[in-house]
């Protein structure tokens, strides 16, 4: 985790992570795509880490099977931490009682649709934290944030094999309120603040603007994986 120039904290994934550079492009694109229809994802950012900081920080290394390597300087992917680490505790597991009371539990249905659409080949990852006291006019409740979208688009392969069980959250209790396909449609409870028309139209606008915000090195890598198609912004 790193504190950046805007004083916010980010969990940073570096260019030379073991999963490869394409994962950073997937993280940025996938997270921004999910945010467009109103799903609760950790705010993404491109974080520039300079060589002198890496050289003078012992912890900025990547553990490998045999030994370790320094993190690579340049533009990295950052996932914003929900608050200050000293004040906001984050959990990756909640007991059933707290899980059922999560304020935005229905969004797991929306994320399931998103993960199927983008061929997320990993299980859905999420974190939980308490909203500030008094938020929403009542007692503090847990809120979910969806994280780790690097395995969207079939990881580094950028194809879309059919895999029905992939993309599910491991705690299936988050889906226990589903009684039919209506629960998975845009505009339902799982799509917080979104409209069906918004979901249908946002992809075209994103194609024109989303890729331009991606660092050139990531975009080149991403485009080569897509065979140079215009969707990638070439």
Task: Name the band, by pLDDT with cuts 50, 70 and 90, for residue 123.
Answer: very high
Task: Name the band, by pLDDT with cuts 50, 70 and 90, for residue 232.
Answer: very low
Determine the pLDDT at residue 180: 83
Report pLDDT digits (tens) over 170-220. 999 999 988 888 777 766 665 555 545 555 555 555 555 566 678 888 877
Determine the pLDDT at residue 83: 94
pLDDT of 228 strictly over 50: no
Angle among Cα 211, 216, 217 to the nearest 5 degrees reads 120
91 Rama sector, left if φ>0, alpha if ψ -120 to 50, beta otherwise: beta
Give dist(CA 191, CA 185) in Å, integer: 8
Residue 73, number of CB atoms within 10 A of its CB: 18
Q: Following DSSP, what letter does each residue of 201-222 receive, concatenated? A: HHHHHHHHHTGGGS-HHHHHHH
pTM attached to this predicted model: 0.85
Task: Name the band, by pLDDT with cuts 50, 70 and 90, for residue 39.
Answer: very high
Determine the pLDDT at residue 230: 41
Report pLDDT digits (tens) over 143-161. 999 999 999 999 888 888 8
Determine the pLDDT at residue 15: 95
Least confident of 23-32, 87-96, 103-112, 129-138: 129-138
SS3 of residue 188 by DSSP = coil
């Amino acid at each position: 985790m790193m504190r950046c120039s805007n004083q916010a904290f980010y969990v940073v994934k570096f260019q030379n992570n073991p999963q490869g550079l394409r994962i950073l492009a997937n993280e940025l694109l996938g997270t921004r795509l999910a945010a467009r229809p109103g799903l609760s994802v950790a705010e993404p950012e491109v974080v520039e880490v300079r060589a002198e900081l890496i050289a003078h920080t012992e912890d900025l290394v990547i553990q490998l099977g045999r030994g370790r390597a320094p993190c690579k300087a340049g533009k990295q992917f950052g996932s914003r931490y929900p608050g200050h680490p000293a004040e906001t505790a984050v959990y990756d597991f909640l007991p059933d009682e707290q899980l059922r009371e999560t304020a935005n539990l229905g969004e797991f249905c929306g994320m399931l649709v998103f993960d199927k659409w983008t061929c997320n080949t990993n299980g859905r990852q999420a974190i939980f934290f308490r909203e500030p006291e008094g938020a929403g006019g009542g007692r503090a409740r847990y809120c979910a944030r969806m994280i780790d979208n690097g395995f969207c688009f079939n990881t580094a392969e950028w194809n879309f094999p059919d895999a029905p069980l992939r993309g599910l959250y491991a705690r299936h209790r988050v889906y226990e309120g589903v009684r039919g396909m209506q629960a998975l449609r845009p505009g339902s409870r799982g799509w917080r603040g979104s409209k069906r028309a918004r979901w249908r139209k946002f992809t075209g606008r994103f194609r024109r603007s989303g890729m331009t915000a991606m660092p050139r090195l990531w975009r080149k890598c991403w485009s080569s994986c897509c065979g140079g198609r215009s969707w990638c912004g070439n």
